[in-house]
Each structure stands twice: as structure tokens, then as C-alpha cells.
Amino acid sequence: MKAPLWIVAVCFYLLPTISSAGDDSYEWVLKQYDTKNETVKSTEEGQLDGDQFLAIIAKREMGPLLAVFRRGSTRYVGVGQMDLPDSPPSLSTVAIAKNSIFVETSFCHHGCTDTRYQFKIIGQQFKLVGVESQNSTHCSYFDPKNAPAECDCSVESGNSYNLLSTTTICWADIDPQCKTPPKPPKQYQPRGVQHQMTFSKVDLPLLDGFNIDKYSLPKSCYFDYKKRVHVYTPNP
């Protein structure tokens, strides 16, 4: 027995679309994209759970914005947006892969730090499920207390958080003799000494309205120059 058309129409109307306030921002971003404006810094289009999505990073006066759209039958529908860091020389990019949206930020000062945030559709909403970071730092900045004063090489290190399994891995690729040249960084692949630990279950933040600068990661670990592991809790 088929449901009456009015019931189908009501059910469709009540489906959550994630977008609420800020529709003007969605329209502005699409306009920049359609006109190939130089304010558009990164774009990616791909399928997620069988639907076609478009992700755009555009630079506004108040800072860069990521807007995510789902392609409808006749138009794009905004489903989530978030502000991105605007502290020079930071850089943000977006990618769609592995049935996820990846937002990557890069910042260089006394070394370089890349951080990648992974969002997946859970319950019809994009939620943060993983965070990975990798750092390339001169040995004297990596651990001034334990590194030899004459050291002159880089140290690669990083963290990988899985918010679904509540596990984190810290790692560091350290040459104590500081004789070998730095290795080309492998994208977010733990190497060298590693340590895995668990943390308490956390709520999964929504992409819509997510603030990278204000988000506090769960506890994790790090290695010093002598390859000793330390546990720490990031500041809230």
C-alpha cells in the first residue's frame, strides 16, 4: 500500500538539511565559485554515501570559510560551514576521499605543522571522527632541554586521533646522532618510535559551526629527544 502524497511531502520537508543560519554565506561562496573569483582558495567535488558533494574554501574579509554543498536535482544545497584559521602564514585546503571530507591546515614557524581533520556523515550530519598532525622541526626547537647544542637536523613527529575508537598514536622519527638528512615527510604515516593509548569517549563535533582554534583534543602523548614517551592533556 502506497503512502498518500501529502505524507511523502511532509516527510521530505522534515528531513534535516543541516544548514540553518548563514544562508547568505552559502550564496556568496557559490557566487565566488561560479565566477571563478580569486577569493576561492580550494575546491573539491566527490561522492559521499552515494550523494554528490562540493566543498569550497573562500577568503572573506573576516577570514577563510569552508562551505559544503550537496548537489540536488536542480541546485546545490548548503549543508555545513565552518570558519578556518586566518593567522599568516597558515594555509587551508579541502579534499574528499575515503567517504570523508578532509580539512587540512598548515602553519610554519620554527618548523612546519600540518593538521588534517576528518569528517564523516553520521546520522545525516557531518561529524569529526579523526584528527592527524605531523610536524617537521629543527632539533633545537623540538626538545631544547635534551637535544645536543650542536645538533643541526630536523625531527619528524606527529599524533593520530581516532575519535570513534577513542585511541591515539604519537610518534617521532628521531636520529640521536643527527647525522642523517631529514627524510621526505610521508603524509600522516606514523614512523620511528610509536606509542598507542586510549582516552575517554568524547562527543563528535559537527562540521557545521566547528571552530579549529577553540577545539580541544583529548589527551595524547609525545616523545622527547631521548625517545622517552610522555602523556599530556592539551589545554582546553
Q: Residues 52-69: pLDDT tens digits?
A: 999 999 998 888 999 999
3-class DSSP string for the chain: CCCCHHHHHHHHHHCCCCCCCCHHHHHHHHHHHHCCCCCEEEEEEEEECCEEEEEEEEEECCEEEEEEEEECCCCEEEEEEEECCCCCCCEEEEEEECCEEEEEEEEECCCEEEEEEEEEEECCEEEEEEEEEEEEEEHHHHCCCCCCCCCCCEEEEEEEEECCCCEEEEEEECCCCCCCCCCCCCCCCCCCEEEEEECCCCCCCECCCCCCCCCCCCCEEEECCCCCEEEECCCC
Query: For residue 205, what pLDDT is reported?
Result: 97
Greater confidence (147 vs 195) lies with: 195
Query: For residue 99, what pLDDT is reported?
Result: 96
Confidence of residue 179 (pLDDT cuts 50, 70, 90): low
Domains of the chain by residue range = 16-95, 109-236
Query: For residue 105, what pLDDT is reported?
Result: 93
Q: Residues 67-82: pLDDT tens digits?
A: 999 998 888 999 999 9
Say whether pLDDT at 16 is over 70. no
